[in-house]
């Protein structure tokens, strides 16, 4: 399937692609009417931190995380968060919120002087942490997703790390995320998205 055909008019990934799973979260609301999707925010996540695989990330975004399962999860009790997409270590891709709606991923944030990045961004969580390198399959999948997003929403040309839009509060996706490789993959696909300095 070509990346250009991944995203339907309703903002959901086309079902049936072998690497795509849909889990519709209730953790979203409407974007402001005047909002234009022009930013893709890259996050890093693992629950518990440094633990990969399992269902904890999806459970968090779906509001069913067992916060008693590990001491580090206790602080997440009652938290209502989501992202549009999640890319696992093997490159598997899950969507939780339509691109047309506002996922709750950025929190208190600012991009190039504009506040409330959730209003105009797409949030992509990559399974990882600040201490580990990300897998090549994840960067490949992210590049494919960026291509699909940029074709579905031509105004979306900006990339940012969560740490870029929430400096001092967030550090993800961390020092081992290979922005150079991502940019080379995007250039090879002719995708005009680039990380923007703040």
Domain spans, the chain: 3-195
Could you say which of 3.40.50.300, 3.20.20.70, 3.40.80.10, 3.40.50.2300 is the CATH number of the domain covering 3-195?
A: 3.40.80.10
SS in 3 state form for the chain? CCHHHCECCCCCECCCCCCEEECCCCCEEECCCCCCCCEEEEEEECCCCCCCCCCHHHHHHHCCCCCCCCHHHHHHCCCCCCCCEEECCCCCEEECCCCCEEECCCCCCEECCEECHHHCEEEEEEECCCCCCCCHHHHHHHHHHHHHHHHHCCCCCEEEEHHHHCCCCCCCCCCCCCHHHHHHHHHHHCCCCEECCC
pTM of the model: 0.95
Q: Is 88 a catalytic residue?
A: no
Show pLDDT as tens, one digit a residue, over the chain (198 residues). 445 568 999 999 986 555 689 999 999 999 999 999 999 999 999 999 999 999 999 999 999 999 999 999 999 999 999 999 999 999 999 999 999 999 999 999 999 999 999 999 999 999 999 999 999 999 999 999 999 999 999 999 999 999 999 999 999 999 999 999 999 999 999 999 999 766
pLDDT at 119: 98
In terms of Cα–Cα distance, which of 14, 40, 10, 56 is closest to 161? 40
Q: Which of 125, 127, 135, 147 is catalytic?
A: 125
């Amino acid at each position: 399937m070509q990346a250009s055909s991944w995203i339907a008019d309703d903002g959901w990934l086309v079902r049936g692609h072998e690497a795509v799973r849909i889990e519709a979260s209730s953790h979203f609301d409407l974007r402001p009417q005047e909002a234009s999707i022009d930013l893709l925010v890259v996050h890093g996540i693992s629950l518990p931190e440094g633990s990969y695989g399992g269902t904890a990330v999806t459970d968090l975004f779906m509001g069913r995380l067992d916060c008693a399962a590990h001491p580090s999860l206790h602080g997440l009790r009652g938290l209502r968060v989501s992202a549009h997409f999640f890319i696992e270590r093997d490159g598997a891709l899950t969507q939780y919120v339509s691109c047309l709606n506002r996922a709750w991923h950025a929190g208190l944030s600012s991009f190039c002087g504009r506040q409330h990045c959730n209003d105009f961004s797409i949030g992509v969580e990559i399974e990882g942490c600040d201490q580990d390198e990300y897998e090549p399959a994840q960067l490949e999948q992210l590049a494919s997703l960026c291509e699909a997003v940029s074709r579905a929403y031509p105004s979306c040309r900006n990339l940012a790390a969560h740490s870029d839009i929430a400096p001092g509060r967030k550090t993800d996706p961390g020092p081992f995320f290979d922005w150079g490789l991502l940019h080379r993959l995007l250039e090879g696909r002719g995708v005009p998205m680039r990380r923007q300095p703040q």
